[in-house]
Amino acid sequence: MRIAIVNDMKMAVEALRRTVVSVPGYEVAWIAENGVEAVKRCAADVPDLILMDLIMPEMDGVEATRQIMAKSPCAILVVTASVTQNASLVFQAMGAGALDGVSTPTIGIDAKGHGQEEFLQKIRTIGRLLDATRRNAPTKAREPTKAGKSNNWLIAIGSSTGGPAAVAKVLSKLPTDLQAAVLIVQHVDEQCAPGLAEWLNQHSPLPVLLAMAGDRIENGRVLLAGTNDHLVVKEDLTLGYNHEPAANPYRPSVDVFFESVANNWTGRCVAALLTGMGRDGAEGLLRLRKSGVLTIAQSAETCAVYGMPKAAAELKAADKILPIDSIAEAILDNMTERI
């Protein structure tokens, strides 16, 4: 894997460089000292992955991510001194197209520093995602099941690359007296999930909480998948987390979530698949559509990465393909029509 480093701190660059080259098969493609240089270097030589710092002179990591994803897109991992302290910027960068965030590893005397294993695990996970995207092979879907006819509403949302900003835009347009529950699966590491819930709370008129095993699905509340296992709706209509399928590179998986909704949710439902790399969620959205659920995919021109919604469109899994600004309105209109 060819990995680029964007950071203005020499010690951080050296820590990242040493960690990258310590792994067979990883190499440093190039190094940039700020966002302006990174945009230029990426246009000339697109790496497999960019390790993007946030706070830099001339152009910060958020704007650099936005420009790279618009001009020469590739996988971007935000690497900052503290993910927790810089949470707002991390999620702005993820909204612009970064895949995830991690704290900068340090190097010790023996070149084995603090945070190195977590950092490498992030890179390995992104590598698996890239491999899955290149294979571009759909998973085999089970036969659809029919949803029940109760009056309870569920809004099911799946997203990945660029998802935080897209999800925030949808949530911001929902009413405070919403007579529906909202469940969200966003591809994000469990260490970043609490910060994402807090960040979404700043954009949502409804409370956003991390989904806990055993939680009940309640109107007027937004629950976000909070672990690296797959969020599911169980037969008793409580929420749970499944480790299997363990080999699924998307964690938590939108497909697994949507399938559980199709299998077990007994009320009415609207499902939306938003911006993201790969195919996760497309098969699950198709199952939901065949079960009688209104399904929506985000349009290409408003996606940070038109991967997951594109896969859904190719499968004819979406009843509607809409720009992000229109999705909340379509959800609410459908709920009004079917009352």
C-alpha 272/C-alpha 219 separation (Å) is: 18
Q: Is 110 a catalytic residue?
A: no
C-alpha 38/C-alpha 64 separation (Å) is: 7
Choice among 187, 204, 299, 319 that is catalytic:
187
Q: Is 24 exposed, middle or buried (0-12, 13-18, 19+ CB in 10 A)?
A: exposed
Which stretches of 45-192 are DSSP H helices? 61-71, 87-96, 116-135, 163-172
Q: Is 280 a catalytic residue?
A: yes
Choice among 103, 159, 160, 260 that is catalytic:
160
Which stretches of the chain are DSSP H helices? 10-21, 35-44, 61-71, 87-96, 116-135, 163-172, 193-201, 254-264, 282-290, 308-314, 324-337
- Residue listed under structure tokens 């940039």: 32
Asked whether 233 and 262 are in contact (CB, 8 A), the reply is: no
DSSP codes joined into one string, 235-280 = TTSBEEEE--STT-SSSS-HHHHHHHHHHH--SEEEEEE-SBSSST
Choice among 100, 255, 280, 319 that is catalytic:
280
Q: What residue type is 264 in one-letter code? A: N
- Which residues have a Cβ under 8 Å from the Cβ of 7 and sit 6 or more positions away? 13, 16, 31, 33, 51, 53, 56, 79
Asked whether 44 and 68 are in contact (CB, 8 A), the reply is: no
Q: Is 325 a catalytic residue?
A: no
- Which residues have a Cβ under 8 Å from the Cβ of 235 and sit 6 or more positions away? 264
C-alpha 228/C-alpha 242 separation (Å) is: 9
Tell me which residues are annotated as active site: 160, 187, 280
